Every structure is written in structure tokens, then in C-alpha cells.
Chains A and B, each alone.
Chain A
Amino acid sequence: MKDFLRYCRMTLLMMKNCLIREMQFRSNFIIRLFTEVIWLGMQFIYVEVLYSLTQSIGGWNVWEMVILLGTNHIINQLFEAFFFDNCTKLVDQIRLGDLDFVLVKPINSQFMVSLRYTDYASITNSMAGFAMIGFALHKLGTAITPVEVLLFLLLVLNGIFILYSMMFCLSILTFWIGRASNLFELYYQLTQFTRYPGEIYRFGLRMVLLTAIPMLVVSNFPAKVLVGGLLSGRLFYACAIGVSFLLITTWLWSMGLKRYRSASS
């Protein structure tokens, strides 16, 4: 428990440092928000076009689709806020030997490399996702219970951890294969699968996206809580996937560290 509090304090400290740095570039922050508004506008036009001739895609009506997009937006933005930069930076840290500075500190190294930098603009941007969901729920006229809100947040967190696990594992492959920038490309392309209803994929692909590459667990599951229809079995399954993916990262990290040669040039 004492350790847990210490790590919480560390997280807040790192976040504070980043906030101080971020505030030096306030105009950047505003432009990022502006981009976000444009991006959302584009998404709305896309949905509008998709639903111009039909009422439902894969069993999701237009507002349910907006909820899915909003959920996906929140998860991706929060993942980017806390983990994305850290994972990309990790590749160079491993390659150039800068990991030394982390390893000598009296703190869990995976924790430190994963949460070192926070991107605040992404946190603010995630609010747009909540707004989308709120608006869509209003349009649907659905009332949401506090339990559903909690479950939703839990699964959102779970989704973020799954994305983190996948990206982190791709980053630390650097321990074994050296330069691998295109693996990030893979990550980007895989996240495409979180954007749309799982029902549109064929059975085989859907199974893969529910198990080995659980992209549907990331965003479809939390969205299902709000549109109604997430069974409790699925809830447990989602959490089991999240936890096991996290465990894999810690295992892979410890394996990778054994191969770390602190090589610098």
C-alpha cells in the first residue's frame, strides 16, 4: 500500500513537470484543440454519408455509431496522453543506450519509462469524446444508470491498457531486432479495427479481433455497455484479456532487459 501511494505520488510529479513544460507552448495547445474540432467535424460528415441510405450498420444505428466513435476517441486520446509518446521514445532509449538513466533509479523501470511524459492536449481532446457520447445518448433518449457509467469507465480503462500493452510490446521488440520503426505502422493500422462495429467483420476475423488482437474488446465492449447489450460474461472476459496482456508486458520487459547492452554510439 505504501508502495502504491509512492507510485501515485511519482505519477503526479511527472505529470506536474510535463504540465509546466506544456504551459510554455500555450499556442500549440490551442491549435491542437482546433485540429481536434476539425477532425470531429470530419468524422460526423463520414457518419452522415455512411448512414445516408441506411438505418443500421452491423446492427448499430447512427447514434449508437456516434457512441462507438466517441468511446474510441476517448480511449485513443487517453492512450496517447499517457503512453504513446513514452512508447515511441522508448525505442531510441533502448537503441542508443539512454535507458541507463532509468535503470539506475530506485523505481520500477517499466513504470518509469511508460509514464514519464504526459501529453495534456490529448487529455483535453478526450473530452470531445464524452461530449459526443452525451449528445448521442440524449438523441437516443436512453437513461444511463450509475452502474453503467462505472462499467463503461472500467472498460475504457481496460481498453487503454490493452492498447498500451500492444504498443509497449512492439516498442520493446527493439531489444531483439534493432531498428523497427515500421512496427509502429502496424500499431496504427491495427487500431483501425477499433473504430467500427465488430459485427461488420466476418466470423474468422472477428474471432481474431476478440482474442489474439483484441481490438474489439478495446472500444466495442465499453460502447456496448451504453447502447445496451453487454453481457456480464463479456465483462469478465474483457478484464481477463486486459490483465493478461499487462502481465505479458512485464514478462517481456524483464526478458528484454536481460538483452539490454547499454550500447551507445
Chain B
Amino acid sequence: MMEALLKGTSAWKYWVILSTRTQEDMAYRANYMVGALFRFLPLLTTIYLWYAVFNSPGYAGSGRMGKMTLPDIVSYYAIMFVARGFSSMPGMTRDISLDIKDGLLNRYLIRPISYFWYQTMYRLAHKLIFWLAALITFPPVFYLIREYLKHSPTVLEWVGFFISLIIAFWTGVLFSFLIGCLAFWFLEISTFLFVIMTMEFFLSGHLIPLNLMPSAIVHYVQWLPFAYEGYWPCMILIGKVQPDQMGTVLGIGFLWVGIFFVLVKLCWKWGTQRYSAVGG
């Protein structure tokens, strides 16, 4: 149906990329499912760790740490898997930087497609497969930890959550693309990527819920684009974003996406002007 709809339009070529990439991924589906299940093991250690914190003999927090209860924290880490499923783009930055460094970009530049949209479709295909697998792997995991999932989100929270996931996806794609473009200016960025990934892991709230950190830090860190890759979707769904804050939270997210879009355009323009097509 999509084919009939898109054929002849300029979106057609991107649809082809999307469907080809999806089929490629499907070829390794067993490998994929296994990986998808393993990824939940850290959730297990995290639950045990926080359970131990809240049930330790000298515990002095009356069921809360900051504004978070144990069920809040466990739900947070569980939803983090969903959010990072939208925002993490494994390998994207490296692929782009290698295309630039090794001159492989040539084959995209001479084609009538946008490299940015090609990369985006490629990642979207990955994400589609990820979500197909998630439909099977996520429900049992969430069922197992159901006693911790105390908060039942309102309609507004569900809507806000889904919007925040869209922001998460775009923040992930745009930021990864932007960093990959650094290869236009610097020859070797693979180690630098490691620094970025480490920072992202922390600043997205993946390691610790950002609001548990000292308030001087939280105040700034929560408004960085990284917070939209994990922290905000989680906070919205566990009911920690009040209805009157929802607009601000999502608005700033869209603002970042807009800024990133402009930066990607500019970087690509300046970068391709510098590009010397070595190798290839």
C-alpha cells in the first residue's frame, strides 16, 4: 500500500532504503532476539541494588530519595529501556565519520539522495526491527516487575510521553549525525566518540536519574538536549512532570531539535565544501 502511495514522489527512494534495510536486519533475527533479551540483565542488577539501598538497616529516608520512591526508581530504569530504544543510535556516528574519512561519501554525493535522509532512514529501519523485537521481549520483563510499576499515567502523560519519544529519536539522530560530521575537520575522531558516548550515558540520565544528583547540577543538566534522550520520557511516564510543566518540557525539547536541524544543515554545507574525497 505504501508503495502505491509513494511511487513517483521524492519520498519513494527513501521508502526503498527503509524497506531494504529492514529486510537486511530481518535476516539476522535470531541473533537479534538473543541480544534484545540480554540487554535487560542490567535492569536486574539495578533493581537489586536500589532495593538494597531502600532496605538497608541504617536507611534514613522514609521511603523516598529526593522525590523518588523505590517503585519510581525501578519504573524509571525500566522506561529508560524504551526511551533509549528510541534515542540511541549505535554505530551511526562511527559509520558517518568513516564514510567521510575513507572517501566513501563519494558514492552518496553523486547520487540524487540526501545523505542525511539516507542515514536517518537507515537508523529508522533499525529502530523498526528493534520495536518489533521489543513487542515480544518487553511485555514479559514489565510483567515481572509489575509490583514496582505503581503509577498509572494520565492521558496527558501518555500523549506527552509519545511526543517526548519523537523528540528522543530526533535528538539521537541529529546529534549523532552532527558529531559524525566532525570528521570533515578532524581526521581521527574514534576516541573522541568514546568521550561523547560516556557523557551521553551520564547526561541522559541513564546511569542515575538526573533529579537525584545535587540540585546545583540538576538545574542545568536537565535542560541539556541529552536529558531528552532518556530522562524526560521516563519522568513524564512515572508522573513526575506536572501538567503545567509539560508544555515547557516538550517545548524546550522541540527547540533543541530545531537548533540541531539548523546545525546539521550548516555543518553539512561547510563540511562538504572542505571534503577532499580521499580514498574511496
Contact = CB atoms under 8 A, between A and B. Distances in A.
A17 interface: no
Given A180-B31, A196-B49, 18 more contacts: A31-B192, A34-B195, A42-B198, A49-B213, A50-B49, A50-B53, A54-B59, A55-B56, A57-B56, A179-B28, A182-B31, A182-B32, A182-B35, A189-B39, A189-B42, A190-B41, A192-B42, A200-B52
A144 to B, nearest CB: 26
A142 interface: no
Nearest to A188: B38
B34 to A, nearest CB: 5
Contacts, number: 98
Nearest to A182: B35
Interface residues of B, number: 36
A55 B32 CA distance: 41
A179 B58 CA distance: 49
Interface of A: 25, 27-28, 31-32, 34-35, 38-39, 42, 45-46, 49-50, 52-58, 179-183, 185-186, 189-190, 192-193, 195-197, 199-202
A234 to B, nearest CB: 21
Contact of A57 (B31, B35, B53, B194): B53
A39 B35 contact: no
B213 to A, nearest CB: 6
Given A179-B31, A181-B31, A56 B61 contact: no
Interface string B32-48: 10110011011001001
B203 to A, nearest CB: 10
Contacts of A35: 191, 194-195, 198
Contacts of A195: 45
29 contacts: A27-B188, A28-B188, A28-B191, A31-B194, A35-B191, A35-B194, A35-B198, A38-B195, A38-B199, A46-B207, A50-B49, A50-B53, A52-B65, A53-B59, A54-B53, A54-B59, A56-B56, A56-B57, A57-B53, A179-B28, A180-B31, A181-B35, A182-B31, A182-B32, A185-B35, A189-B38, A190-B41, A196-B49, A197-B52
